[in-house]
Each structure stands twice: as structure tokens, then as C-alpha cells.
Amino acid sequence: MSLKSKISAHVRIIPKNKKWLIIFILILLAAIIGGRALYSKQHPKLTSVKATSLRRTNLTRTITADGYVASQTTRQVSDTSGQQVQYIDVSLNNNVSRGTRLCTLYNAETRRTTGIYAPIAGTITHIGAVKGAPANGELFTIQNTGNLKVIMQIKQADIASVTTGKAVTITAEGTNRQHYRGVVASISPAAEGSESIGSAATANSNNDTAGATAKDSSAIFEASANINRPTDGLRIGMKTHQEIIVATHQNVLSVPFDAITKNEKNADELFYATKKKDGTAVVHALPVTLGLQSDSQIEVQSDRLRDNMLIILNPAKLSDGQRVRIQH
């Protein structure tokens, strides 16, 4: 018997009621599959996105610099007469007033003594005088430990943003994370070691490798900031870390950095969302002008921006008018 005959025989022996059951099941399966396909076409899977509300804030841009604590007033007391140091009247860390005798020198030829006196009030931070030895150079260093400053190293890329009068926040290890305030007082007009750098560049002007090295190196500029009182906990010579406030914009609209993307014309834009009744949202592209940047936020400007607009984060793969689902 052929295969076709066998199938026909089997079909003939299926009861009539079972035939209708099989037909019904097949129709039901087709309806389910077709319904799912139609639903998927009418309700495509939506991209889930994160969003943030657009708000006004005060933005501050800072640059950082390392440094160390120094005195605003330092005076070296020197003598090169060669006279013998007969007596030393002070010790290291002694506080002295202006006019306090520091040591006595003895002239063996005239058999007369000469007193060396403090030119300013302050603390003895260095003693170079040795009893019985001839005076020949720096004998004492006096520093005012009440009026302190920080000496900062500013990178070449940042130096144009730093001007005198800018506010500075200062921290130092060993002060229980205390923050001190100060103001930029001076900025060096030349980079550290600029004379030797210039000489080396001239000597190697015909050497391409040396020229590239000089060009790639980043110059460091020295600047100082006077520290506001109180300065409790700070000591001369402590290493410090500074944040210099170089710009502040108040009451401006800002967004996180990851809310900004580029359009096909390489212009800056963001995407905002309008919510729909079904719980979805539609996103719209909006060109913006960027302003001041802080560590995590950037100022945005446009006549179409409004407070509390829903701003999309990481919108690079979105398109204008796309329907999305907002993650909560």
C-alpha cells in the first residue's frame, strides 16, 4: 500500500467530532500567532531611558593645585663679619619680639661685643649660629607663624584662569580634614626653571627629538595665596592641596555631562521628553549652547528650555520623535 493510501486510510478512521476539534485547535493557534504579530507591529518594544529634571543651580568651576604652607613674613638674620659667636640667647621655636637679642658677637681685636637683634616679631624656625664659631652667613630665620600662606604649583594649562583675588580652599593632611580659606595674592610671571629650559631649547634647536620633548613638557607656575585666620592646625612646611575657584555662574540651567550629545552637524544638543497618557514618552532633540562646566554639570542655554523639563540621559542612540519608556 502506498504512503498516500495509508494516510487516507488513517484520516477515514478519525471520528468526525475529533476532526472538528483538530480544526478548531489549528484555527485557535493561527489566531494566537497572528494576534501576537499584529500586537508586536502595533506596539513595538520601547527603548527604556533614564531622565532627570532640568533645574537651576549655582555652578562653580575650580582648578586644583598642590603646594605647601609658608609664612607671609620671613626674615633671615645674617652676619659676615667673622666675629666669634659668644652667646646664643634664643632656641629653636622660641617666639621673639622685634628688638629681642638673638646672640652676641665678640671681636677679638677690639675686645668688644656686638648684639644681633630680631628685626621682626615671630618664631625662630632656623638657627645657623654656632657658639664659638665665626659669624659667616645666615645666623637665624624668623617667621611669623600667625600669618600664613600657601605656595602653589599651577599647571600651564590652568595658569590663564588664575588671577589675584580668586578664592582658594585649602586642605592639609594631619588637620582632621579641616578646610581653610584664602585668596590668591601673587602669580609668578615666569615658569619654574624657565631660564634653564630656554637655554636648553636654544642649545638643541637643531635637534628634533629635543625640540619635541621641550614642546611636550608642561610648565609649572608658582603662585601664592594668603590664608585667612584662623589657621589652627597648620604648620609651616606642611604639604597642601588647593581648589581655586576661577568662575561662578548663579541661577543657571544645567545638566549632567551625559545628557549632551552631537547631531549630524556636529552641534551640541540634548533630548527632552513629553509624557503620554499610556505611560510612555516621546523624545525631542533640542540644540543648545554650552556654558560653564563644573566637575559634574554643564550650563545649557536655549530659548526653548524651561524649568523642570524632563531631560534624557545618554541620548546618543535616540532620534527625534521616538517613543520611549522612562525608567523610574
Task: Render pLDDT for 260-286 as a digit per residue (tens, 0 to 9).
Answer: 999 999 999 999 999 999 889 999 999
Q: Which residues contact 50 (CB under 8 A, 6 or more apart)?
A: 312, 313, 314, 326, 327
pLDDT tens across 46-65, in order? 899 999 999 999 999 999 99
- Sort residue 14 into left (φ over 0), alpha (ψ -120 to 50) or beta: beta
The residue behind cell 658677637 is: 105
Beta bridge partners of 50: none
- Across the chain, mean pLDDT equals 87
Q: Topology of 74-143 in CATH?
A: OB fold (Dihydrolipoamide Acetyltransferase, E2P) (2.40.50)
Q: Which residues contact 155 (CB under 8 A, 6 or more apart)?
A: 63, 65, 218, 220, 221
Q: Residue 314 pLDDT > 70, yes or no? A: yes
The residue behind cell 483538530 is: 22
Pairing relationship of beta strands 323-326 and 47-49 according to DSSP bridges: parallel
pLDDT cut 90: percent of the chain above it: 74
Beta bridge partners of 66: 153, 241
For CATH 2.40.420.20, list the domain ranges present in the chain.
Answer: 47-59+250-326
pTM score, whole prediction: 0.68
For residue 78, the number of C-alpha atoms closer than 13 Å in the C-beta half-sphere is 6
User: Which CATH number is 47-59+250-326 given?
Assistant: 2.40.420.20
The whole-number pLDDT of residue 87 equals 96
Q: How confident is the model at residue 212 (pLDDT cuts 50, 70, 90)?
A: very low
Contact 104, 116 (CB under 8 A): yes
Q: Residue 40 pLDDT > 60, yes or no? A: no
